[in-house]
Homo-oligomer: A and B are copies of this chain.
Amino acid sequence: MNKGNYKCPLTQALGVIGGKWKPLIIYQLEKSKKRFGEIDTNIPGISRKVLTTQLNELVEDKLVERTAYAETPPRVEYSLTEKGKELIPILRSIAKWGNYLVQ
């Protein structure tokens, strides 16, 4: 049942920011662009494969921009797009609301 793929904007949006690691990644990029390895070491517990996947999805959803430099060794930088930056205050309001859940 429910073969149709329609999702309301809310469900879509929650899918985009709802991954286990995505909020953390977005927070990483809030203040400045960062390299892949930086994000990896700043988020304890995440594997590189998962980080890659999440970053790719964020790029595809236009929240994050990826810039690769043709150097050796390679350098890749990630930064928030305008759409991504718009999300920050919303995430803050969610976090504020969710504070009661944390002891």
On A, residues with C-beta under 8 Å from B are 1-2, 7-14, 16-18, 20, 23-24, 44-45, 61-62, 83, 86-87, 90-91, 93-102
- CB-based contact B14/A14 at 8 Å: yes
For A11, give its contact among B1, B20, B96 (CB under 8 Å).
Answer: B20
A101 and B23 contact, Cβ closer than 8 Å, known pairs A45-B1, A45-B2, A93-B90? no
Give the contacting residue for A23; candidates B11, B23, B94; CB below 8 A.
B11
Distance (Å) between the CB of A59 and the closest chain B CB? Answer: 14
A10 with B98: CB separation less than 8 A: yes
- Cross-chain contact B16 with A18 (CB below 8 angstroms): no
A94 lies within 8 A of B18 (CB)? no
